[in-house]
Structure 1
Amino acid sequence: MLENGKLQRSLGLWAIVGLGLGYMTPTVMFDTFGIVSKQTNGMVPLAYIIALIVMLFTAISYGKMVRIFPSAGSAYTYTKETMGNYTGFIVGWASLLDYLLLPLVNALIIRLYLESLFPSVPPWIWVVSYVAFVTTINVLSMNSTSNLNGFLVIFSILLIISFIIFASIQLYQGMGTGTLFTMQPIINSNVDMVGVLTGATVLCFSFVGFDAITMYTEEAIDKNTVPKAIFLTVFIGGGIFFTASFFTQTLFPDLSVFQVVDDTLPEIGLYVGGKVFQVFLIAGAFAATTASGLASHSSVSRLLFVMGRNNMLPKKVFGYVHPKFHTPAINVVLVGLVSLFAIGPSLELITAIINFGALIAFTFVNISVIAYFAVGQKRYKTGKDIFSFIIMPLLGAGSTGFLWYFLHADAFIGGIIWLIVGIIYMLYLTRFFRRKLGTLDFDEREDTRAVEADVKVSSQG
C-alpha cells in the first residue's frame, strides 16, 4: 500500500475506450493522408487494413496479459514479470520514449495549427498555454480527464461523420471516382506491396495509444473490462481510420489537387465542404489532438508511477500519489515540463522516433504471452493452447518485427541512443548488476481492499 494514497477506481468500459480513442486521435488520418497516399500509390485504405490486422494480433496479446497482471505498467510490467527485471526495464525504458514524446507531439501539432491561424503570435505562448491546461486537468482528477476527453472524442467522430456525408454528396456529383461502389482504393493493377507495407508502418502511428489503456487497469471500476476495452479501441479506431481513408481516397485518387502533401487536412476540408466546413474540420482536428494530449499525458504519468513504485525510478518522486486528487501529480507536472520542448523540434523527427519505442513494446508483449503461458504454465499440450499461446502471439511478434524493416533511419538512430542511455542508467541502479532491480507485488487481496477504499472515497466525494 502506498503511503501517499492510491489511484482511484472510477473508470467504466466506455470511459476507458474513450481514453484509448482519444489517445489514437481519430482525425490523424486526414493529416497523414497525403504522405501515405504518395507512398502507397493511392492505396491508403489497404495500408490501414494491414496495420489494423497487425494491431489486432497485438491487442489480443495485451488482453491476455492484462488479465494475469491487473496493474498499471503495460508492456513494462508484462515483460518484467515473464522475462525478468532487466528485460522489463529495457522494454519499459523503450516504451517511455514512446509515451514521453506523444504528449510533446500533441503540443507541437497544436502549436502548428495556431501558428497558421495567428502567425504574428510567438509560438511559445501557444505551447505554454496548452501544456499548462492539459497538465492542470490531469493533476486535478482522472474523472476530469475522462469526461473532457470523452466530449472531445465525440466531437471529432461527429465531424468525421459530417465529412462522410459531404464526401458522398461530392462523389454523387462526379468528384473523384464519381462512385462509392469501387474497389480501386483496396485492389487495383497498380498495387506496390512494398509501398503499401511502408505506408502501413507510418499508419501504425495512428494506432499508438490503444496499449495505453492498460495504464488505467488500477483505475477501472472492474478490471475485467480492460481486455474488452483494448479490443474495442483497436477495432473501432481501425474502422474509423479505414472508413475515412476509403472516402478520402475515393475522392482523391491522386494528389494532383493538393498544394501541401505533408498535411492535407485543411485542403481536404476545403475541397469537400468549402470554407465553412474547412474551419469545422480544423476545429475537429484541434479537439482530437487535445483529447490525445489529455490521454497521452495521463498514461505516461502512470508508467512513470509504476516504475517509481518498483524502485526503478526514485520512488519518493515518481511513486507519489496525491492524497486528495488520487493522481500521480508530480509525474503529471514532469511530463508537462517535457512537453514544453514542443516549442522547437520538427514533427517528422519526433513521430519517427515514437514508432521505435512502440514497436519494441508491441513485439515484447507478444513474446511475453509465449513466455508466461507456453513456457511458464506449460500450456502447449492441446491444439487450442498452441494456437492461443504460441501461434497467435508469434504472428503478432512477427508482424510487428517485420515492420521494423520499414522504419525511418532517424527512428533507429534516436531510439538506439535512448536505449544506450537506459542501459547506462540500469548499470548505475544495479551497480553493474551487484544489486537487484525493484520488484512489484501483485496481491489480489490488496487490489480488493483498494477497490473498496476508493469506492468509499468516491461516494463521499
Structure 2
Amino acid sequence: MDRDTGPHIQKTPDVRTGGAARLMRRKPVELLVAEGGHGEGGELRRSLGLWQLTMISIGATLGTGIFVVLGEAVPDAGPAVVVSFIIAGLTALFSALSYAELAGTIPVAGSSYSYAYATMGELVAWVCGWCLLLEYGVSVAAVAVGWGQYIDELLHGTLGVTLPQALSAPPGDGGLFNVPALLVVVLAMAFLLGGARESARANTVMVAVKVVALLLFCAVAATGVRAGNYQPFMPLGMAGVSAAGATLFFSYIGFDAASTAGEEAKDPQRDLPRAILLSLVLVTALYCLVAAVAVGATPWQHFEGSEAALSGILHSVTGQGFWPTLLAFGAVVAIASVVLTVLYGQTRILFAMSRDGLVPSVFSKVDPRSGSPRANTVIVSAFCGLLAAAVPLGRLADATSIGTLFAFGLVNVAVIVLRRTRPDMRRTFRVPLSPLFPLAGLGLCLWMMFSLDAVTWQVFGLWMAVGAVVYFGYGMRRSRLRTAPDGTAAAAGPKSASTEE
C-alpha cells in the first residue's frame, strides 16, 4: 500500500498576488480530495461504513431538541411546537440536500468549510469555518449543560441523592460550576482518543438506547393525552411558532456530522449523501411524534423553565418514579452520544483548517497508533468542557443556531456556484430542482436567523469580529495555498493520496 506523505503545498503566497486575490483564492476540488486523510505526522483511517456514518449523524442530532430545548420552545409556540419542529426540519432538509451533493462530490473532513474553500474562496471559507467553530464547539457545551439536568434526575430517582446547586449549574443559573457538564465532555474525549472506529461503536450502542427510551416515553405518556391540551393550538400566533422554530433548529445541527467524516469513510462518495438524508428523515419523524405526545399530555404553560420536561411529564401522567427514572437514564445516554459525535465533528473541522494553515498546526497532528488527532481532541474538549461548566444553556443554544444557519446558508450557495463552475464534475447525488431548492434553503436559513433576538445577533457579531481579527492577523498570512494572479490555486498536490486501511 502506497503511503504518500500528502500534498506538498508551498506555504508562502505568490508574491504576484495582491490582497484581494489572496482573499478570493480557491482550493481546487482535486487538491482537497488528494489531501484527504493526511495530517501532521500521520493519517486518518478509513474505517466507517454507511451504518456507522448514519449513526454518527443520528447520534449528533437526536436528543438535544427533545431532551433539552423542548422546554424552552413550547412556551413560545404552545401545542404548535410540532409545527415549529416541521419548519425547522424543512429548513434543515433543503440544506441537507445541498450537504448531500457536496459531501459526495468533495468527500473531505472539512465539511462546509472545505466546500466554501473550493467555490467561494478563502475568506468565505474562513467565515464558514469560524461559524462551524461556534456551531460544533458551543453546541457541545450547550448539550453538556442539559446532560447535567438529567444526571440530577437519575440520581434522585435511583439513590435519592440531589446534586448541590452550586456544583450542578453554571453561574447565572444559580450555581458556581457545572461539574456534570464538564464530566460528560471528558468522557467523550476519552472515547475519541481511542480512534474513530471505537468511537463509532460506542455511539451506535448509545443511539439504540435513546431511540428505545423515546419510544417508551411515547407509549407511556400517550395514556395521559387530553384533547383540551391542544387548545389553543397557536396561542402566541405565527411569530411564536417562528421563534420556537429558530430555537429548535439547534436540535437539527447534527445531521451534517457525517460530512465531517469524509476522510474516515470507506466509500464516502456513495455513503455520505445517504447517511445525511436518512438520519434527518428518521430524526424529524421521531421529534414530531414525541413533541405531539408531550404537549398532549401536559398543558403547554407548564413547560416554562423546564429543561428536563419529558421526565416531569411521565411523573405527572403515571404518578410513579420508575418511568421518569428510566427516561432519565435514556436521556443521560442520549445526550452523551450527542456530545461525543458533535465533539468529533468539531475536531475534524479544525483538522482541515489546520492542514490549510489557517489555524495552528497542532490541530492537524495525527497520532499514528490511534489514527486520531489527539492534541486537537484534548484542546477542544478542554475548551468545551469549561464553557459548559460556566455558561447558561439558553444563550448557548441560540448562539449555536445562528452560527449553524449562517454556515448552512453558505453550503446552499456553494452548490449553485459549483454547478456553474464545474458542471462536468462527477456527482453521486444531485439536489433536485437546482437552483430552486438551494435558494429555498438559503432563504429559510436567513428567515430563521432574523427570527432570533437582538442579543443573539450581538453575540454573533462579536464572534465574527473576533474571527476577522484572527484571520487577518494569523490565518491569511500563514495560509498554505499558493495562488496564481486569477485567484485560483497554482500549486497542485499528487494525483492521489491513499488512506485506505
TM-score range, shorter chain: 0.7 to 0.9
Which of these residues, 438, 450, 458, is aligned with residue 499 of structure 2?
Answer: 450
Residue equivalent to 1:314: 360
Residue equivalent to 1:164: 218
Q: Contact 1:177 / 1:253 at 8 angstroms: preserved in 2?
A: no
Q: CA deviation at 1:357?
A: 1.0
TM-score w.r.t. the length of structure 1 is: 0.87
Q: Contact 1:34 / 1:255 at 8 angstroms: preserved in 2?
A: no
Residues 1:332 and 2:377 are matched in the alignment: yes
Q: CA deviation at 1:409?
A: 2.3
Q: Contact 1:30 / 1:268 at 8 angstroms: preserved in 2?
A: no
Residue equivalent to 1:148: 202
Q: CA deviation at 1:128?
A: 4.5
Structure 1 residues 407, 128: closer, same or farther in 2, change over 3 A?
Answer: closer
Q: Contact 1:76 / 1:89 at 8 angstroms: preserved in 2?
A: yes
Residue equivalent to 2:342: 296
Residue equivalent to 1:89: 126
Q: Which amino acid aligns with 1:133?
A: L
SS in 2 for 1:446: coil
Alignment deviations for residues 65-120 of structure 1 (CA, whole Å, 9 cap, x no partner): 11221111111111111000111111111111111112222332233434564324
Which of these residues, 335, 353, 364, is aligned with residue 410 of structure 2?
Answer: 364
Q: Contact 1:367 / 1:397 at 8 angstroms: preserved in 2?
A: yes
Structure 1 residues 418, 260: closer, same or farther in 2, change over 3 A?
Answer: closer
Residues 1:248 and 2:288 are matched in the alignment: no
Q: How far apart in 2 are the matches of 1:106 and 1:71?
A: 26
Which of these residues, 434, 448, 454, is aligned with residue 409 of structure 1?
Answer: 454
SS in 1 for 2:79: coil
Q: Which amino acid aligns with 2:205?
A: F
Structure 1 residues 102, 319: closer, same or farther in 2, change over 3 A?
Answer: same
- Within 5 Å, give how 1:111-260 maps onto structure 2: 111-115=148-152, 117=155, 118-120=162-164, 122-123=167-168, 125-171=179-225, 176-177=226-227, 192-223=237-268, 224-256=270-302, 260=305
Structure 1 residues 302, 281: closer, same or farther in 2, change over 3 A?
Answer: same
Residue equivalent to 2:20: none
SS in 2 for 1:410: helix
Residue equivalent to 2:3: none
Q: Contact 1:308 / 1:319 at 8 angstroms: preserved in 2?
A: yes
Q: Contact 1:27 / 1:160 at 8 angstroms: preserved in 2?
A: no
Q: How far apart in 1 are the matches of 2:334 and 2:298?
A: 23
Q: How far apart in 1 are the matches of 2:180 and 2:309?
A: 22
Q: Contact 2:409 / 2:446 at 8 angstroms: preserved in 1?
A: yes
Alignment deviations for residues 436-456 of structure 1 (CA, whole Å, 9 cap, x no partner): 563798979535x212xx2xx
Alignment deviations for residues 318-370 of structure 1 (CA, whole Å, 9 cap, x no partner): 11111010011111001111023122211111111111210111100001011
SS in 1 for 2:433: helix
Can you give the 5+ residue segments of structure 1 that lack an aligned partner in the other structure? 380-384, 455-461
Structure 1 residues 444, 18: closer, same or farther in 2, change over 3 A?
Answer: farther
Q: Which amino acid aligns with 2:499?
A: A
Structure 1 residues 443, 213: closer, same or farther in 2, change over 3 A?
Answer: farther
Residue equivalent to 2:329: 283
Greater fraction helix: 1
- Within 5 Å, give how 1:388-427 maps onto structure 2: 388-427=433-472
- Within 5 Å, give how 1:337-352 maps onto structure 2: 337-341=382-386, 342-352=388-398
Which of these residues, 417, 428, 448, is aligned with residue 473 of structure 2?
Answer: 428
Alignment deviations for residues 195-233 of structure 1 (CA, whole Å, 9 cap, x no partner): 211111111011011112100111111112100100011
Structure 1 residues 101, 352: closer, same or farther in 2, change over 3 A?
Answer: same
Q: How far apart in 2 are the matches of 1:58 and 1:408?
A: 23
Q: Contact 2:357 / 2:478 at 8 angstroms: preserved in 1?
A: no
Q: CA deviation at 1:414?
A: 1.5
Percent identity of equivalent pairs = 25
Residue equivalent to 2:58: 21
Q: How far apart in 2 are the matches of 1:387 and 1:127?
A: 41
Residue equivalent to 1:459: none
- Within 5 Å, give how 1:67-78 maps onto structure 2: 67-78=104-115
Q: CA deviation at 1:155?
A: 0.6
TM-score w.r.t. the length of structure 2 is: 0.80
Of 28-37 and 283-292, more deviation after overlay is shown by 28-37
Structure 1 residues 391, 210: closer, same or farther in 2, change over 3 A?
Answer: same
Structure 1 residues 222, 161: closer, same or farther in 2, change over 3 A?
Answer: same
Alignment deviations for residues 395-434 of structure 1 (CA, whole Å, 9 cap, x no partner): 010111111111132321121111111111111136xx67
Which of these residues, 258, 262, 265, is aligned with residue 310 of structure 2?
Answer: 265
Q: How far apart in 2 are the matches of 1:312 and 1:259?
A: 43
Q: How far apart in 1 are the matches of 2:411 and 2:100?
A: 10
Q: Contact 1:163 / 1:272 at 8 angstroms: preserved in 2?
A: no
Of 69-78 and 128-137, more deviation after overlay is shown by 128-137
Structure 1 residues 27, 93: closer, same or farther in 2, change over 3 A?
Answer: closer
Residues 1:43 and 2:71 are matched in the alignment: no
Structure 1 residues 67, 442: closer, same or farther in 2, change over 3 A?
Answer: farther
- Alpha-carbon RMSD across the aligned residues, in angstroms, is 2.6
Q: Which amino acid aligns with 1:344?
A: A
Q: Contact 1:45 / 1:246 at 8 angstroms: preserved in 2?
A: yes
Q: How far apart in 2 are the matches of 1:387 and 1:210?
A: 19
